[in-house]
Amino acid sequence: MQALEIFEEFSLYLKEMKSKGKKVIAFISHDNIPEELIDAAGFIPLRLIFAGNDELMDASHDYLPPSTCAFAQTCIGLFALKPRQFDFLDLIDYFIVSNHCVSDICASEVICKYFNIPRLNFYISYIRNSNSEKYFRLEILEFRKKLEEIKNSVISDEAIIESIKKYNEFRKFLETLNNLTIQGSLKLKLMQKAFLFGPKIIPELKDFINSNNNLRAQSSNSKDLLLTGCSIFMNDILIDLIKEGGGNIIFFDSWIGSNYYSQQFDNSAFENTQKPIDLLASRYINNIYGDHCVPNFLENKIAQIEQIYRKYKEKTGKRLGVINHIIKFCDHMSLMSSFFKNKLQEKGIQVLNIERDYSRANRGQLSTRIEAYLEMGDSE
Ligand code: SF4
């Protein structure tokens, strides 16, 4: 299914939800936003997961300099460019200003201020320790209070626990989807759609998984890859360039991928914990692969990729390629990219760091770099 069809379907869904009085709460898609609270309030969480193009990036330059990351530029461009590319953005009632990174804060503030969308704040500490866990709990309480004011009634603990269970099941399906042996481009399209619709899409995920569970990847000649770094967002040509070059992403390790679905609870967590705030706080503190917090994020990430690589080699006898996708001016990914690449290459894992923005002019250069990387041999 093309992204355009998904947008049309999503637009109809949101209009239907709005006609039932539901509020739409949008945010820039990264990590740690407690979407279960939004769901428990009866509202719709809307992640901005849309890749850019020249027009969308240019439209943001009245608000922030072009040295802002290309994804944050795009998020602003979605609101600034007229006529608006996706009409469902007109349905947003509130926008969360969070601090995954500086570009995220700036873009979210610009969207609220210049496009007249009421803001909700959700601050997340950059250090993961017992004090930041206490702080996270306070932010959760404050966020819940704000949602209750909007809803004009209390959000019960039971409703939040039910939402946490629902999203937990959703994450499990996404993990199964990521593990299917199908073309990465197909997998990504459904994963992106799932991020837009949320757990409502579970029946579709179930059907898809049941009918593709025993399939093998279509082309045995393709070079299998792990994608890490920034997500490939909807409408991005990068996934097509990788496919055209002979690559097949078998593992998505990014915000749209394992970083999200790996943050699951065992069923025992629900038996042992009655308070939703304890569950949400434990998820935050156990999020050791998230790129928002120090210490040890990078070391954990490198160890995780090495483990996936070794398992893959044991199973297939082949080397798994690693593409580290860096959206231009993304400080989170670009600052550590040389260290990340060197560390993995010291372990015999070949890494391609791709830093790019969304301009069309980059297409040829991107293809050349991807093809050159994919032509490297499989045997050590
Ligand atoms: S700088 Fe990186 S982490 Fe921040 S908004 Fe851009 S892509 Fe996301």
**Cβ contact 167:276 at 8 Å:** no
Instruction: Please check the confidence at residue 107 and state whether its pLDDT lies above 80.
Output: yes
Q: What pLDDT, in 10s, does the model give residues 32-47? A: 999 999 999 999 999 9
State pTM to two decimals: 0.95
CA-wise closest residue to 165 among 273, 307, 18, 292: 273
- pLDDT band for position 378 (50/70/90)? low
User: What does the pLDDT read at residue 214?
Assistant: 73
Q: In what order do the strands lie in the sheet with 223-229?
A: 247-253, 223-229, 321-327, 351-356
User: What does the pLDDT read at residue 220?
Assistant: 60
Verify that 127 and 252 share a domain, yes or no.
no
Structure tokens at 148: 């209750």
Verify that 180 and 79 share a domain, yes or no.
no
* Ligand 1 centroid – CA 195 distance (Å): 17
Verify that 47 and 129 share a domain, yes or no.
yes
In-domain check, residue 298:
yes
Q: What pLDDT, in 10s, does the model give residues 327-362? A: 999 998 999 999 999 999 999 999 999 999 999 999
Instruction: Please check the confidence at residue 215 and state whether its pLDDT lies above 80.
Output: no
Smallest CA separation from ligand 1 atom 1, residue: 330
* Ligand 1 centroid – CA 353 distance (Å): 16
Mutate to test the pocket of ligand 1, among 327, 333, 337 (most ligand atoms within 8 A of CB): 327
What is the CATH number for 269?
Answer: 3.40.50.11900
Q: What pLDDT, in 10s, does the model give residues 357-376? A: 999 999 999 999 999 999 98
Smallest CA separation from ligand 1 atom 2, residue: 330
Domain region containing 28: 3-156
In-domain check, residue 379:
no
Instruction: Please identify, among 138, 156, 174, the residue that sits at the C-terminal boundary of a domain.
Output: 156
Whole-angstrom distance, CA of residue 198 vs CA of residue 312: 30
Q: What pLDDT, in 10s, does the model give residues 253-285? A: 999 999 999 999 999 999 888 899 999 999 999
Percent share of the chain, pLDDT over 70: 97
**Domains identified in the chain, total number:** 2
Verify that 185 and 249 share a domain, yes or no.
yes
| Cα Dmax for the chain | 63
Instruction: Please check the confidence at residue 218 and state whether its pLDDT lies above 60.
Output: no
In-domain check, residue 67:
yes
Whole-angstrom distance, CA of residue 326 vs CA of residue 229: 6
User: What does the pLDDT read at residue 273?
Assistant: 80
Instruction: Please check the confidence at residue 1 and state whether its pLDDT lies above 70.
Output: no
Percent share of the chain, pLDDT over 90: 91
User: What does the pLDDT read at residue 272?
Assistant: 84
* Ligand 1 centroid – CA 135 distance (Å): 23
CA-wise closest residue to 124 among 160, 145, 99: 99
User: What does the pLDDT read at residue 115?
Assistant: 97
* Ligand 1 centroid – CA 341 distance (Å): 19
- Residues framing ligand 1 (Cβ under 6 A): 30, 69, 71-72, 100-101, 103-104, 230, 327, 330-332
